[in-house]
Amino acid sequence: MIEKVLGFIERRWGVVVIIGALVGGLIGAIVHVTASDVYVARSLVVLTQANIPPDEFADVARAMFPTDAVMLPVIRDLGLDRTPAQLISSGTAEIDALPGGLSVSVIARTSGPDLAVTIANEIGAQLRDVSQVNGIGRLAVFPAEGPATLQADPLSRDVAVGMLVGAFIAALDAALVILIRRRALGSDGRFRFESMLRVDVSTDPEEGTVVVTAARPLASFVRADGDGEAGETVAVTLDDGRDLWATLAVAEELSRLAASSHDGGLRVLEAGTELGDAETIGELIVVAADHTPSSRLRDLRRVLRRSTGDAPMTLLLVHADDGA
């Protein structure tokens, strides 16, 4: 069962990414629907008498905002179970400079409308008091008036974020599966195939023919030996359910190419056929569906190595598309 799932991920990684995006979007929608309401309140703090260059006020206010002198009295008076850093990092308290540089807006976000108003006004008052004590200037506070407004986060945003995260996670998982499975097939020191090639096999609905395509010409696998005579090549096909037709199509194409390039052609061993110890092998080509379990390929590689010695061994991974 696990091999089938991993094989599906390897063959249909695009579908996996789409499924991941859809699942992520669904989770984003669920989170949006079930999330607690957030209320927002704003108080306005304006510089009325400056003891510093007026254009520096916004930067000074932002610097004072997270300090204990401003935040701790608010936390103590309201009985908040938070530190100043937690208030700011959670988005409960925020400061925003307004155009012109002479005023800032103190923003509070909480699950209760009254608490948001109170926090915004308390922080604004503390900014005013601390500024006056430290000789920055006089500030006027225009308090937020309740009730606080309900923060409207669009459903589309949460769904979009969920889809992006879901697609990314699915793509990462698919990449890891492909990397691990291809490594298991080809880069293990004991079971490494000398070369590998992906071969696509499809049916032409109009002509009713089978089409075999590969990035590297299959004829390059049918080689002559050093004396110019054809070395014997044996193709071993693995029966892997519905894709047997595709592996046989590749083996037949290899036979045709071998017959046209030199005398002797190429022998095809069908699924389940074993090589005898006395067989003479020039080159071995293993033709298997691309979702064949890696454990099965490793076992076959081990068996063939015992009977063929150091004969070159090539793996053709067949991706079948029967139009279903």
Q: In what order do the strands lie in the sheet with 267-269?
A: 209-214, 195-204, 313-321, 283-289, 233-237, 267-269
C-beta of residue 127 within 8 angstroms of C-beta of residue 70: yes
As separate numbers, helices (DSSP H) first and strands (DSSP E) second, the chain gives 9, 11
Q: Is residue 105 part of a domain?
A: yes
Query: Rounded to an integer, what distance in angstroms lies between the CA atom of residue 165 and that of residue 188?
Result: 33
Provide mean pLDDT across the span 54-68. Answer: 89
Tokens 């298997």, residue located: 288
Between 22 and 240, name the one with better pLDDT.
22
Q: Is residue 314 part of a domain?
A: yes
* CATH (domain of 229): 3.40.50
- The reply to whether 112 and 220 lie within a common domain is no
Q: Where are the alpha helices (DSSP H) in 79-154?
A: 84-89, 113-133
State how many domains the chain has: 2
Provide mean pLDDT across the span 57-77. Answer: 90
Query: Rounded to an integer, what distance in angstroms lies between the CA atom of residue 122 and that of residue 265?
Result: 90
- Which of 37-41, 57-61, 185-189 comes out lowest in average pLDDT? 185-189
pLDDT given at position 123: 92
Q: What pTM did the predictor assign?
A: 0.44
Q: Is residue 26 part of a domain?
A: no
Query: Rounded to an integer, what distance in angstroms lies between the CA atom of residue 129 and that of residue 150?
Result: 29
Residue at which a domain ends, from 150, 180, 202? 150
Q: Give me the percent of the chain exceeding a pLDDT of 70.
A: 76
pLDDT at 182 over 80: no
- The reply to whether 198 and 311 lie within a common domain is yes
- The reply to whether 195 and 125 lie within a common domain is no
Q: State the chain's mean pLDDT as an integer.
A: 78
C-beta of residue 10 within 8 angstroms of C-beta of residue 181: yes
Q: Which DSSP state fits 230?
A: B
Residue at which a domain ends, from 99, 131, 150? 150
Cα–Cα separations (whole angstroms), residue 134 to 27, 43, 63, 142, 315: 49, 21, 13, 21, 78
Query: Rounded to an integer, what distance in angstroms lies between the CA atom of residue 24 and that of residue 5?
Result: 20
Chain segment 126-172, per-residue pLDDT in tens: 999 998 888 888 889 898 887 777 766 677 888 888 899 999 998 99
Run of H or E residues at 184: helix 155-186
- The reply to whether 144 and 207 lie within a common domain is no
Domain range enclosing 206: 190-321
- The reply to whether 142 and 222 lie within a common domain is no
- The reply to whether 213 and 100 lie within a common domain is no
3-state secondary structure (DSSP) of residue 234: strand
* CATH (domain of 117): 3.30.70.1130
Q: Is residue 166 part of a domain?
A: no
Query: Rounded to an integer, what distance in angstroms lies between the CA atom of residue 159 and that of residue 27?
Result: 8
- The reply to whether 131 and 194 lie within a common domain is no
Chain segment 269-279, per-residue pLDDT in tens: 666 666 654 45
Residue 121 backbone phi and psi in degrees, to 5: -70, -40
